[in-house]
Structure formats: structure tokens, C-alpha cells
Amino acid sequence: MNKLVAMNKALYPLGHQVDNGLQKLLIGHSDRDAWLLLFDHFGFSADLEECVRLEQAALLDILASSCEPLPGVCSGLAELKVKRITIGLATSGSGLIVNAMLSSLGLADYFQAVAYAELVTHAKPAPDLYLKAAELIGMPPEHCIAVEDSPPGIASAKAAGMFTVQVRASSFAYGPQPEADVVIETLEDFPFCLLDGER
């Protein structure tokens, strides 16, 4: 929801607004790819880098004032830490935004590595981000479990060779995706038995 508000702040001077339905189609795409989709959808063009910069500035302002994790995020990360599971993050967002978000949420220390858009050539649904995350944590992709909420993210993780859990708890929850190996409603339902090889 924060990203939707930030995107609409950047779009307002251009005379357009994104509703929940359109926002759902943008989830999982990099900032630049999302703006290119918006240009096509609304039939206009603008300075791509300036649009991304305005959206990121608006999002940083929002993160500085209020940001809440989804249900199960904090408890799930704490459980993984107790189990000494290495955790990486693969995001289509920029490094600036993801680091600000993790800091705002107090979650930065849980992640041993973060793979973000600037580190790869191709964003989701290409496998690059998940392959980079696996490389950064020193694990073969086939030994990793990816947790995703969007079709591009699920496609990315599967293309990287990872076992994939779809979580439907976001504001723009998709229906169960056939490519996902497991579908859960919230991270509170995460099947920790998967960590013991029970797939």
C-alpha cells in the first residue's frame, strides 16, 4: 500500500492515478519496469529516471513516518534465527528503498544478504535476483526456499530452481498460483517442517 501511495504522488502532476487493480499488475516488477508499464497503460511518456526518483523520494518519506510488517514476518524471522537458518532477500526494488524499509521495520539484522535491482541485469520474472541472493548467502539455489507473493516473483524463484512458497497476506493478494509448491494465507502459517527437508 505504501508503494501505491508513493507512485500516485509521483503520478499526480502527470494527471494519472493508479488504483488497486492496476497496482496488483505492477507487483513484482522493478521500479523502472513498473513505470514503463504505466507509460504504456496510460498512453503517455515522461522522463523515466525522474519518475522513479520522485516515487522513491515519496516512498522514503512514508517509510520514515510509518511502516508495519505483515503478520508473521517478525515471528517468522525470529524463528529462523533461532534455527540458525541463513536468510537472504531478493527484491525488484532499489537498494536505497529496501535498506530504508528494513531499517524502518527493525529487520535489517535478520538478513545475511540482500539482492536488489541494481545488482542484476534482469529483474523478476527473470531468475537473476534469486540466483544473486543464493550466491550472496553461499547456497545452491536448489537448496533454497523462496517466499513470494506475486506471479513475477514466483516465476523468478522457480526459474532459479528454488522450492517456492506463495504467501497471500499482502494487500494485493493473488489467488493460489499453480507454479507455487506450497500456498499459505499468511506468514504465520509458514510450514517450518520444510526446513527439515519434509517437502
Predicted confidence band of residue 198 (pLDDT cuts 50, 70, 90)? low
Q: Degrees (nearest 5) of the Cα angle 193, 197, 199?
A: 75
Using a pLDDT cut of 70, give the percent of the chain over it: 96
Average pLDDT over residues 153-175: 90
- Higher-pLDDT residue of 66 and 106 is 106
CATH of domain 2-65: 1.10.150
114 three-state secondary structure: strand
User: How is the chain split into domains, by residue range?
Assistant: 2-65, 73-196
**pLDDT tens figures, 4-22:** 888 999 999 999 999 988 9
Phi, psi for 164 (deg, rounded to 5) = -125, 130
Residues with Cβ within 8 Å of 60's Cβ and at least 6 positions away in sequence, in order, are 96, 97, 100
pLDDT at res. 189: 93
Is pTM beyond 0.85? Reply is no
Average pLDDT over residues 87-96: 93
Tell me the sheet residues that pair with 183.
Answer: 166
Predicted confidence band of residue 24 (pLDDT cuts 50, 70, 90)? confident
Q: Which of 60-74, 99-113, 161-175 has the lowest mean pLDDT?
A: 60-74
Same fold, 2-65 and 73-196: no
Predicted confidence band of residue 197 (pLDDT cuts 50, 70, 90)? low
- 33, 148 contact by CB (below 8 A): no
Class of domain 73-196: alpha beta
Average pLDDT over residues 16-32: 88
- Distance from the Cα of residue 135 to its chain's centroid: 18
